[in-house]
Amino acid sequence: MERCVQLAKIGRSKAAPNPSVGCIIVCNNRIIGEGVTSPYGGSHAEVNALASVKNKYLLSEAVLYVTLEPCCHHGKTPPCTEAIIHSQIKKVVVGCLDPNPKVAGKGIERLKNAGIEVLSGIWERQCQEVHKEFLTFQTKNRPYILLKWAESSDGLIAPSQKSNLRPFWISNKYSQQLSHKLRAEYQAILVGANTVSVDHPQLTTRLWYGLDPKRFVLSQNGDMSLLSSFEDKSSVNLIGPDEIDFSKNVAKQLCDYFYDKNINSVIVEGGLQTISTFIKENFWDEAMVFESDQPLLSGVKSPKLTTIEASKTALLNDILNHYYNPLLDSASID
């Protein structure tokens, strides 16, 4: 199952809004087939793994391992359960259940009714982690929200003044590259109007191989001229007063907005007001804060999370502070 999780991580940037599932097929303690979910609209991991097996006669003696319960309904592709049953595999090991009402245990039931032995809940926590965006979307009817910002050693998110319209880099090149890797793993990225007008960010994955996220700019007055800041204006969208009411529950409305667009994961990158909105309303799941060892001395104070700190990772002279928000009332902002 560890190998299945590795495969699932490989396909994260391409499968959305479907979950990136990992699957392997084992016969006599040897992996004879592997598969990961194809880009949206393509084959699922189980079908790809079955197709990769060269000697199909071995399937009747093999075990199929998969991170997420096989689907049992017709979508853009036929049910994976039918492909598994047709393959004559006799045993399936599932990491975690699919909460989608169209599946939700029915996939496992379908396999068992066909005489296939099924074990579930194997390496469940790790499989739930790799599918956290999909599971959040299905169970909470909103996208998985990652907050991300960089701050100086004296707790500032931006300088008081700048001499140009380019981003002011607080973090080092390794932190910047990791930030672009995260962008490649998420469907969408959100920033506020002030961030765009001051920094002119491009919000792409240019420092990492992967697809650019869909880019969204939040503007209270619906200023379409903000989009001119982007060199490539494809997949850049403005969210203004025609889309949401800025007088209350902005984060909740934004989550509903993204949910309606079938976007299951969003990085909120700035600025202070936009990030603060999600923290105050407790609509966030994870936060990554890149802390530099250099002070700014004067500038905009960074958001402050009062929640359990999950981990610290050194990135040369930067520190990545990684937070999770497990409870609805577990975070606040100073």
Q: What b/e readout covers 245-276, taking b as 16+ CB neighbours within 10 angstroms?
A: ebeeebbbbbbebbeeeebbbbbbbbbbbbbb
Q: Residue 42: is the preceding peptide bond cis (ω within 30°)?
A: no
The catalytic position among 46, 69, 151, 269 is 46
Contact 318, 171 (CB under 8 A): yes
What is the separation, in whole angstroms, between the first and last Cα of the chain? 42
Q: What is the three-class DSSP state of 30?
A: strand
Contact 68, 95 (CB under 8 A): yes
CA 216 to mean position of chain CA atoms: 16
46 belongs to the catalytic site: yes
Phi, psi at residue 6, to the nearest 5°? -60, -45
Q: Residue 17: is the preceding peptide bond cis (ω within 30°)?
A: yes
In SS3 terms, 36-61 reads as ECCCCCCCCHHHHHHHHCCCHHHHHH
Nearest one of 101, 96, 47, 46 to 73, comparing CA atoms: 101
CA distance 97 to 94: 8
Provide the annotated active-site residues. 46
